[in-house]
């Protein structure tokens, strides 16, 4: 068993040397494809972070019935806090609302009016998992159904817009990434096909002397995996050094998930493995 694995690895490496030009083209194609995929992943990660930041800052403001006493307001606050999806509820009194108005506008409301027309309200923050448009609307309806809530203001339209464009963006990125992945797999497959074709007589002899299907196939699978590994490894190194330079020149410009480098290597191996399997299915069916 162990000797068979050693043979497969050795033959796979020899196969890379035999078809140097086509191997180089395959590795380079995987390398380029993964660099572009890495760019897509980084963009997705950063766009998603921005969207989450916008969602985290969004709050519902629920205006309280002016006839409610302080005791009733406390009970109402507790009722809201007990609802699903509520992370935090802050009470803003009429006086506090007047202070906020003065800070934001620069004028005291009593310079314009004789009495404070601003209603008391609750500023409500949702739990992260409830910040989607659909779930935020559910919470909105639950709060609005409570006795003592006159009106609720929140940016439902902005949440819908964010989710809509995020969905379109992800669809475009996934489609482009899929095409790049497919092109890499096809090129690896073609390289393996060339190697199999060049060794077709040796393969026929191996079949005649009783070599098993797995014994013949394994070296080509290993070859495809190596192509993917080299392409993925080069892409990971390239992306690492480029991002390092960018972050030195412009700190904190790009947020990076450190797992991306391992993802690139893994994707390269998957591309190589898939390419070799496709080639073997066509040329070694017995």
The CATH number of domain 59-154, selected from 3.30.70.3040, 3.40.50.300, 3.20.20.70, 3.40.50.1970: 3.30.70.3040
Q: Are 224 and 275 in contact (CB under 8 A)?
A: yes
pLDDT score, position 232: 92
Measured between its terminal Cα atoms, the distance across the chain in Å is 22
* CA gap 47, 206 in Å, rounded: 54
Each residue's pLDDT tens digit, 25-60: 888 888 988 898 888 888 888 888 888 888 778 888
Stretch(es) of the chain classified as CATH 3.30.70.3040? 59-154
Q: Is the pLDDT of residue 176 over 70?
A: yes
pLDDT score, position 262: 93
Q: Give the pTM.
A: 0.70
pLDDT score, position 170: 86
* Number of other residues whose CB lies within 10 A of the CB of residue 27: 27
Mean pLDDT of all residues in 176-181: 84
Q: Is the pLDDT of residue 276 over 70?
A: yes
DSSP state, residue 153:
E
Each residue's pLDDT tens digit, 91-147: 988 878 777 777 776 666 666 666 766 788 899 999 988 888 888 899 999 998 988
């Amino acid at each position: 068993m162990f000797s068979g694995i050693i043979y497969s690895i050795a033959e796979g490496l020899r196969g890379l040397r035999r078809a140097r030009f086509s191997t180089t083209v395959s590795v380079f194609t995987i390398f380029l494809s993964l660099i572009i995929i890495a760019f897509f992943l980084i963009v997705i990660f950063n766009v998603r972070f921005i969207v989450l930041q916008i969602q985290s800052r969004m709050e519902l403001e629920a205006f309280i019935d002016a006839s409610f006493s302080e005791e009733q307001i406390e009970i109402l606050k507790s009722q809201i806090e007990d609802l699903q999806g509520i992370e935090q509820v802050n009470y803003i009194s009429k006086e506090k609302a007047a202070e906020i108005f003065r800070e934001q506008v620069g004028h005291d409301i009593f310079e314009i009016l004789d009495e404070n027309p601003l209603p008391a309200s609750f500023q409500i923050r949702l739990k992260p998992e409830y910040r989607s448009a659909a779930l935020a609307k559910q919470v909105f309806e639950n709060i609005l159904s409570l006795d003592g809530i006159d009106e609720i203001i929140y940016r439902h339209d902005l949440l819908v817009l964010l989710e809509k464009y995020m969905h379109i963006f992800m669809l475009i990125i996934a489609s482009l990434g899929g095409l790049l992945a497919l092109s890499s797999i096809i090129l690896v497959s073609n390289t393996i096909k060339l190697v199999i074709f060049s060794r077709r007589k040796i393969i026929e002899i191996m079949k005649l002397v009783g070599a098993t299907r797995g014994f013949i196939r394994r070296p080509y699978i290993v070859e495809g995996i190596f192509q993917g590994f080299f392409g993925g490894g080069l892409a990971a190194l390239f992306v690492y050094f480029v991002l390092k330079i960018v972050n030195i020149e412009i700190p904190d410009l790009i947020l990076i998930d450190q797992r991306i480098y391992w993802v690139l290597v893994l994707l390269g191996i998957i591309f190589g493995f898939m390419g070799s399997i496709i080639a073997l299915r066509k040329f070694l069916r017995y």
